[in-house]
């Protein structure tokens, strides 16, 4: 992750390019145009990596971003609605009163985001996609072996899948923010949604820990695994254990630019605990401290597991 270089580039950001005072329709006017250069979004949701020049993601449009953001909210709204027994033919998950209240709050917030992103898309002149059908056991409506057969009867399984979906939604939105960096309204909508996903994930993780799970309120190498290596679901956590943060020095007339690792484990004054952390302990904290984005395809592949 090119972390400190993003901080350095904040000073060069032309804030006058953001249409802060523009009418909403003007801000949405070019939904189909591809996103351009990277926006240092560190102030909002963590550093974003510079995408490779030939990566397919470079051609994503503002509309692509909004459709994905809406898909995430539709997906999670349906997930929580089914858990609450709000969907015909699906029994409610047997949650405690406190857990049910929390899930109701999450569902209501997701429903509001569905409405927001739907309006942004239609205001921009695009058409909303047809609503898919979801089977959160992963059996695709009984056509294959279920991935989570006890989802609707086990609160522990339900919360484990909820964590997976919320963690995935946050990483997916973080990976999309750069593609709407020239539209102030859209950028704010995406990073606010990412922040909500992070808070949802943190609350679900706390609920799981209260039920005895080994999990922190944020993604950590110390979390007990909830996916199997090599599966589609496991892709959600690939890269989250990254402990190497780098910055790129500025080239001069006599010295070429260079990529430099940040020495978290040695010279930076972050190890002030008593007793001091071990080098391995420091790196675990580094992995916990930085949000890692991923590409849209990781999320769409995950959602496909539960779609029929």
The domain segmentation of the chain, as residue ranges, is 14-236+294-304
Residue located via tokens 């209501």: 108
Cβ-based neighbours of 220, under 8 Å, separated by 6 or more: 284, 287, 288
Q: What is the pLDDT of residues 5-21, one digit of tens each?
A: 443 443 343 333 433 43
Residue ranges of the chain whose pLDDT lies below 50 = 1-29, 34-58
Length of the chain: 308
Q: What is the pLDDT of residues 81-137, one digit of tens each?
A: 999 999 999 999 999 999 999 999 999 999 999 999 999 999 989 999 998 999 999
CA atoms within 13 A on the CB side of 225: 12
Which residues on adjacent β-strands are paired with residue 248? 259
Q: What is the pLDDT of residue 43?
A: 26
Q: What is the pLDDT of residue 269?
A: 65
Fold classification of 14-236+294-304 (topology level): Ferritin (1.20.1260)
Q: What is the pLDDT of residue 268?
A: 65
Q: How many CB atoms lie within 10 A of CB 10?
A: 11
Q: What is the pLDDT of residue 266?
A: 65
Q: What is the pLDDT of residue 31?
A: 54
Write down the pTM of the prediction: 0.78
């Amino acid at each position: 992750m090119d972390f400190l270089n993003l901080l350095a580039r904040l000073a060069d950001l032309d804030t006058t390019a953001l249409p802060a005072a523009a009418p909403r329709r003007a801000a949405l006017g070019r939904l189909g145009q591809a996103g351009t250069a990277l926006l240092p979004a560190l102030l909002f949701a963590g550093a974003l990596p510079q995408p490779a020049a030939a990566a397919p993601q470079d051609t994503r449009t503002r509309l692509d971003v909004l459709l994905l953001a809406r898909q995430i909210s539709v997906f999670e709204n349906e997930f929580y609605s089914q858990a609450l027994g709000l969907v015909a033919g699906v029994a409610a998950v047997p949650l405690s009163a406190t857990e049910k209240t929390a899930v109701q709050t999450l569902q209501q917030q997701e429903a509001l985001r569905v409405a927001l992103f739907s309006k942004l898309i239609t205001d921009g002149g695009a058409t909303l996609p047809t609503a898919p059908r979801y089977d959160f056991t992963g059996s695709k409506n009984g056509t294959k072996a279920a991935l989570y057969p006890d989802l609707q009867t086990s609160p522990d399984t339900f919360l484990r899948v909820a964590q997976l979906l919320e963690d995935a939604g946050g990483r997916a939105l973080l990976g999309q923010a750069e593609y709407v960096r020239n539209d102030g309204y859209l950028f704010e909508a995406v990073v606010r949604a990412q922040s909500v996903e992070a808070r949802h994930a943190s609350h679900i993780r706390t609920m799981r820990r209260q039920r005895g799970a080994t999990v922190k309120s944020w993604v950590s190498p110390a979390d007990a695994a909830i996916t199997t290596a090599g599966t589609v679901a496991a892709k959600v956590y690939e890269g989250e254990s990254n402990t190497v943060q780098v910055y790129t020095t500025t080239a001069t007339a006599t010295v070429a630019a260079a990529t430099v690792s940040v020495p978290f484990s040695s010279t930076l004054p972050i190890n002030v605990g008593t007793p001091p952390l071990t080098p391995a302990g420091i790196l675990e904290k580094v992995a916990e401290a930085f949000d890692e984005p991923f590409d849209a395809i990781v999320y769409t592949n995950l959602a496909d597991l539960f779609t029929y």
